[in-house]
Structure 1
Amino acid sequence: MKVAIFFGSKSDAETMKKSADVLREFGVDFKAYIISAHRAGALLTKTVKQVEDDGCEVIIAGAGLAAALPGVIASETVLPVIGVPLECINPGKSNGLAGIDSLLSIVQMPPQIPVATVGIGNAKNAAYLAIQILSIKYPELKQKLVDFRKKLAADVEKNGGLGVEL
């Protein structure tokens, strides 16, 4: 396992699956865990230590509302942690902040305990960032990322790019 994906609630699974899809596309091994930082702190600590022992190299953590999960994980490990701020997506339970509260909670970590943070709900970018981090160590992964970026650029050029008529 190279990446561990954590999120605090089953309701976050649909968004966090986007990280898993990207990691699968690049052939990166991962495991996913649903553990609330507030409801099961001891289990979270134990699991973070276990994923380290299992060879995890990067952690992606999605969290909504108070969004403590990425920060708590970062306080338990020196592995890179990428936070995904999530909207409250339970029907009828939105707090009206559309994930801004989660974004601010994750991005405003105290000094010395950083958490990289992507856009609200952008679990795909969390996976791409994890792949970039891993590509420092794994040349084959770096090549896949280079090829992916070349294809992105070619698709833009093919589909309009320059000289588009309005």
Structure 2
Amino acid sequence: MTNDNPQIGIIMGSDSDLPTMQGAIAICEEFEVACDVAIVSAHRTPQRMVNYAQTAHQRGLKVIIAGAGGAAHLPGMVASLTPLPVIGVPVSTRHLQGVDSLYSIVQMPGGIPVATVAIGNAKNAGLLAVQILASQQPELLERVQQYRQTLTQSVMDKQAALEKLGYQQYLSQKS
């Protein structure tokens, strides 16, 4: 969901990261928060990365979600160039399953924070970005609270089914 007034920037180092990052895009769509989705490589398009990060706040963005695999420099480099909060999404890699990406993103030096979610969990990055926006937008805060209530209700419904069916029948229905 991209429009003229995006509040969340969702960037990735390569189009191969898009399947992972679609979780953040879906959350933005669910909460009807406009987002800007772009491929911005720290290594292959460094000047584009610098321009994107340095002008993000001037373009109306409030939060940036940056997904990266392997060396995973994008979230940290963007965080070093923008005054906005940056949320890093470690993208799973073929050889190290994203642990390399996670370590790269979380090991930022003092003064340059990057919030980081679990490997491949762009959905949580999207939710965190929405919650950051909701701290200043009462209507959005209400929707975040409603979302949380649906999570609670989902667990309670599962518990009721487990109690009614017993664990063996419950598990057989999940298969």
Shift of 1:161: 5.6
Kept after mapping to 1: 8 A contact 2:56/2:82: no
**For the pair shown, which has the larger CA radius of gyration, 1 or 2?**
2
1:111 match: 110
2:54 match: 49
Give the aligned CA root-mean-square deviation in angstroms.
1.3
- State how far apart, in whole Å, the 2-side matches of 1:143 and 1:57 are: 19
- State how far apart, in whole Å, the 1-side matches of 2:51 and 2:143 are: 33
2:127 match: 128
Instruction: Identify unmatched segments of 5+ residues in structure 1.
Output: 89-93
Give a deviation string over 1:55-76, Cα, whole Å, max 9, x none: 1000000000000000000000
Kept after mapping to 1: 8 A contact 2:73/2:104: yes
- Secondary structure of the residue aligned to 2:54 is helix
1:119 counterpart letter in structure 2: A
Shift of 1:78: 1.4
- State how far apart, in whole Å, the 1-side matches of 2:56 and 2:37 are: 10
1:8 match: 13
- State how far apart, in whole Å, the 1-side matches of 2:136 and 2:101 are: 31
Shift of 1:119: 0.2
Trace 1:2-81 onto structure 2 (pairs within 5 A).
2-81=7-86
Shift of 1:99: 0.2
Give a deviation string over 1:18-38, Cα, whole Å, max 9, x none: 110111000111001101101
TM-score with structure 2 setting the length: 0.87
- State how far apart, in whole Å, the 1-side matches of 2:162 and 2:19 are: 38
Shift of 1:49: 2.7
Kept after mapping to 1: 8 A contact 2:91/2:98: yes
Give a deviation string over 1:67-119, Cα, whole Å, max 9, x none: 0000000000110000000012xxxxx2x210000000000101100000000
1:91 match: none
Query: Would you say how many aligned residue pairs link Structure 1 and Structure 2?
Result: 160
Q: Mean alpha-carbon deviation: is it higher for 46-55 or for 96-105?
A: 46-55
